[in-house]
Structure 1
């Protein structure tokens, strides 16, 4: 007696559907919003420096600049690495602060909440975030910085 043929193990998957709409080209330069227009004088450093008031959320290129600068949570003595941190507006967005490297710093979730709850202030001096405690924590309000990621 003849053995029956083995069942086929090939699975058939439908081909991915392609979009039926034609590819769209970008709008003419005059129709773009001012936030997307760039001048010939702009450079990548200026692009990473500020996004102004066009968005509250820190875009990836500013987040990368903050990561390169802070390397992790900028709060004094914190060792939380940058991927676990949130970008924080030094001058709050609700108070007119911009989304920029000069007005941003990386903070872990704990210190981000602490900054808001305890009324710490932050100043960036020579590219380094300095934290000034509220008077009820330090009556002298001596500025402090994180030396874990930057030893100088």
Structure 2
């Protein structure tokens, strides 16, 4: 959905995937070479990190203190309920530069995205309405209607 919103990102990532992998199925070795010279992350990594920053799968975390707890200089007595609004925290790009993600999950996501970009171009349907609701898990309220074209 985000690549359909930003076709320039889609094209840059596709060019990188085709340059590194050609039409061959991406493998671990190829995925480790998905990087533009002098860039810390590849286009594919940057796209995945930006999507996770803007649309984290979990929008908030809740924690209950069962005993007196200290976090830095902050003292929290027992019985306090804490809410950490991930959706708000993630919209600040500063902590994401650089970011260390869960390696296996990111490898799987890169593999899937590379294979999709090798074979398809996608655009948002004119009927798409951007309305991500803020419930426990972030998801498109009205679905994500995408038009897919085989290359």
TM-score range, shorter chain: under 0.3
- Relative to its length, the structure with more helix (as a share) is 2
TM-score by length of 2: 0.26
> Does 1 or 2 have the higher relative contact order (CA < 8 Å, sep 6+)?
2
Bigger Cα Rg: 1
